A and B are shown apart, each in its own frame.
Chain A
Amino acid sequence: MKNIKVLGTGCANCKTTLKLIEESAKAKGAAIQLEKVEDIQQIMSYGVMSTPGVVIDGKVVHAGGIPGREKIDQWLDS
C-alpha cells in the first residue's frame, strides 16, 4: 500500500490536491494511505519550497501547484 503525503500549509490548492488524489484512487480502486502534512517544520524537512508538495513513500514527486490528473494517475499506477 502506498503512503502518500500532501504537504501544504492549508491553502486552497493543497486541499484541492488532496481531493484529486482521493478521487483518483477511488476511481482506480487503489489502496492508499493518504496524509496531510501541515506543520511547516515537517514540510521543510522534505526540502520543498513551493506548496502543495506530494510525497510518495518518502520521496518527493511534486512541488508547487495542483498536479494534473494524468500525473496523479501515473503515481498510483507505478
Chain B
Amino acid sequence: MIAAVIPLPRRHPRAFLGVMAIGWLALYLGLEPLSEWLVSLLPVSRAGHLGGAIQFFLFDTPKVLLLLTGITFVMGMVNSYFTAERTRSLLAGRREGVGNIMAATLGIVTPFCSCSAVPLFIGFVQANVPLGVTFSFLISAPMVNEVALTLLFAMFGWKIAALYLALGLSVAIVSGYIIGRLKMERHLEDWVRNMPHIQPAAVAGGMTLGDRIAAGFASVREIVGKVWIYILAGIAIGAGIHGYVPQDYLASFMGKDAWWSVPLAVLIGVPMYTNAAGIIPIVQALLAKGAALGTVLAFMMSVIALSFPEMVILRKVLKVRLIATFVGVVAAGILLVGYVFNLVL
C-alpha cells in the first residue's frame, strides 16, 4: 500500500498537501462526536465516573496523537529548510545580543539530537559563531522543541504552552548571553581552539517539495513512533488517578507555599534524562495532584535541558569550569522561571 502512495506526493505535491490537510482537519473535528458515539455503544452510563473516564481517554488519546502527527509532519518539512549547516552560516559572525536571540529562535526549527551536540558545537565555534551564541542554541534546541510544545498545548492548553515557549527562549537567550559575557573561550579544550577556522558556505538546499513531504513523513515515523507510548501513559495516568489520590496530596510539599520546592525540583531534574515526551506523564501526574505549575515546569525544563549524559559528551570539548558554569547559569535561569511562574499564577 505504501508503495502505491509514494508517487503521489512526488508528482502532485501541492494537491497532496491540500488533501492531507482537509483529511486531518475532518478527522480532528470528528473526534469528539466519534468518541461520544463509541461510549454510547458501551454498556456503561455516560454520566458515571467510568463512562466519563472512558470518553476522556477515547477522545484525548487520538486528539493528542493527531496533533502530534500533524505538527511533527509540518516541522519535519520546516526542518528541511533549516539544516544545521544553514543555521550555522546564519549565525556566523553575529554580535552578541542579536545573535543570542537568533540562536535561541533557530534552536526551535533546526533539527537537533543530543548525540549531535558535540559536532554541532565544534562546527559553530569553527565558523566563528561566538561562544555565548552557540550556547543559546545548545540550550534552546533540546528544551524548546515542537514535541514539548505540542504536548503542553494538547494536554494543558495554549497558555501553558505559550508560557513555556516564552520562558524557555528567555532562559536560552539570557544564559547564553551571560556565558558570552564571562569570556570563557579559554575553557574550551585545546584541540577545539586550535582547529582551523572555516568560512561557512551556504549549502544549497536542492530539495523539491516532494522531498520535503518525504522528510515530513520520515520525522513522523521517527518521532511519533518513538513517543506514542509515553503519551498513552500520560493520558492513562491523567484519566486513571482522577479522584483516586486526594487532589491536594502533593500541594503540601510541591505547592506554591513551599519555597524550597523549586530548587528541589531542579536538583532532582538535572541528573534525570528523558525526552520531552517521556516527561509528560510525570508532569500530568504532578499537576493533577496539586503541585504548583512553576515547580513542575522548572522540573520539566531541567530534565530536558540539563542532563548528565550530555555533560559527559560535552566534556570532550569543554573544560570542567565551562561545563560547571553552563549548568550553573541554566539552572539559575530555570529556578527563576519556576519562582516567577508560582508568583504570577
Contacts of A8 in B (CB 8 A): 115
Q: Give the residue of B85, B111, B118 whose beta carbon is less than 8 angstroms from that of A40.
A: B118
Does A27 belong to the interface (CB within 8 Å)?
no
Is the Cβ of B122 less than 8 Å from the Cβ of A65? no
CA distance A22 to B218 in the complex (A): 21
Does A41 belong to the interface (CB within 8 Å)?
yes
CA distance A64 to B115 in the complex (A): 10
Q: What number of A-B contacts does a CB cutoff of 8 Å give?
A: 54
* 8 Å CB interface, A1-58 against B: 8-14, 40-41, 43-44, 47-51
Is the Cβ of B115 less than 8 Å from the Cβ of A41? no
A68 and B119 in contact, given A11-B113, A49-B85 (Cβ under 8 angstroms):
no
CA distance A40 to B122 in the complex (A): 10
Is the Cβ of A9 less than 8 Å from the Cβ of B115? yes
CA distance A8 to B118 in the complex (A): 10
Contacts of A49 in B (CB 8 A): 84-85, 88, 116, 119-120, 123
* 8 Å CB interface, B234-277 against A: none
CA distance A11 to B123 in the complex (A): 18
Is the Cβ of A64 less than 8 Å from the Cβ of B111? yes
A46 nearest in chain B by CB position: B119
Contacts of B115 in A (CB 8 A): 8-14, 51
Is the Cβ of A68 less than 8 Å from the Cβ of B218? yes
* 8 Å CB interface, B66-99 against A: 83-85, 88
A64 and B116 in contact, given A9-B313, A49-B85, A49-B88 (Cβ under 8 angstroms):
yes
Does B181 belong to the interface (CB within 8 Å)?
no
CA distance A8 to B321 in the complex (A): 26
* 8 Å CB interface, B112-128 against A: 113, 115-116, 118-120, 122-123, 126
Contacts of B122 in A (CB 8 A): 40, 44
Does B316 belong to the interface (CB within 8 Å)?
yes
Is the Cβ of A13 less than 8 Å from the Cβ of B113? yes
Is the Cβ of A48 less than 8 Å from the Cβ of B119? yes
Does B195 belong to the interface (CB within 8 Å)?
yes
CA distance A22 to B226 in the complex (A): 24
CA distance A41 to B84 in the complex (A): 18
Most interface-central of A12, A40, A41, A50 (chain B CB within 10 A): A50
CA distance A49 to B123 in the complex (A): 6
Contacts of B218 in A (CB 8 A): 65, 68
Q: Give the residue of B84, B85, B88, B195 whose beta carbon is less than 8 angstroms from that of A44.
A: B195
Give the distance to chain B from A74, nearest Cβ to Cβ, in Å: 14
B221 nearest in chain A by CB position: A66
CA distance A10 to B113 in the complex (A): 12
A64 and B83 in contact, given A44-B195, A49-B88, A51-B116 (Cβ under 8 angstroms):
yes
CA distance A11 to B309 in the complex (A): 12
Q: Give the residue of B84, B126, B195, B222 whose beta carbon is less than 8 angstroms from that of A50.
A: B84
Mark A56-74 against chain B: 1 for CB-CB distance below 8 A, else 0.
0000000011101000000
Mark B115-145 against chain A: 1 for CB-CB distance below 8 A, else 0.
1101110110010000000000000000000
Is the Cβ of B313 less than 8 Å from the Cβ of A50? no
* 8 Å CB interface, B302-327 against A: 313, 316-317
Contacts of A14 in B (CB 8 A): 115
Selected A-B contacts with CB under 8 Å, 24 pairs: A9-B115, A9-B313, A10-B115, A11-B113, A11-B115, A12-B115, A13-B115, A40-B118, A40-B119, A40-B122, A40-B316, A41-B191, A43-B119, A44-B126, A44-B195, A49-B85, A49-B119, A50-B111, A51-B116, A51-B119, A64-B84, A64-B111, A64-B116, A65-B222
Shortest Cβ-Cβ A-B pairs, 7 listed: A11-B115, A49-B123, A49-B84, A50-B84, A50-B116, A51-B116, A49-B119
Residues of A within 8 A of B (CB): 8-14, 40-41, 43-44, 47-51, 64-66, 68
